[in-house]
Amino acid sequence: MSLNLFDLTGKTALITGATHGLGKAMAIGLGNAGATLVINGASSQEKLDNAVAEYKALGLNAHGYLFDVTNEAKVMENISKIEKEVGHIDILVNNAGIIKRIPLEEMEVADFEAVVKVDLVSPFIVSKHVVKSMMSRKEGKIINICSMMSELGRNTVGAYAAAKGGLKMLTRNMATEWAKHNIQVNGIGPGYFATAQTAPIRIDGHPFNDFIVGRTPAGKWGDPDDLQGAAIFLSSKASNFVNGQIVYVDGGILATIGKPANEN
């Protein structure tokens, strides 16, 4: 199989929430495969500018746009700006997300709605306004960042699981409606990864660290770079007949029951 199938040279990729963490890791992968990067953030211009500078220091062609992905007017405004200033968007990665760890019986409706708005409604909003150009060009790739919580529940993450489960089905319906326009819509479901956010609990003897290492057949946390292959594949010609699928990058957690790493 030719490596040209995975070449993203000449493509422009918009990655939401890519100033840090897993979004940043995936964006670096797409950039190294040749894509021009459009990095979205919402917290501050300073954080966005610093992230873009870090991408450029790696030799990647990156542009930053500050906007709230839950605000449809701002999404429309910035998509228009990106298309004029950078070019049409060939690849969209809906990565922006939040989580609130609160037991359901204690959770305020406003908190539940906030999680659903960012994790489920915003991929609909951004995709809706990016896909129109893709439809006119008869080509495009959309990747929704789902979760193992698209398949499983866990204590205190009910709103997140509801949103990510909904995102799985939104992904499949987008594929159903847009495949006729030669647009592929798929998802990536990350497992548990070694990031700055998880550093405080990735310590031997910490109950959650021991649980994850024991529960994962690979016997370890994932490296954020482990997501790059799936992101490149689903962004490239190599996946032109793959549609409506969720690729779980989880070290095998969803494949088994029990704690296989602790079994003989």
- 55, 65, 160, 248: the catalytic one is 160
User: Is 160 part of the annotated catalytic residue set?
Assistant: yes
Total residue length of the chain: 264
Residues classed as catalytic: 160
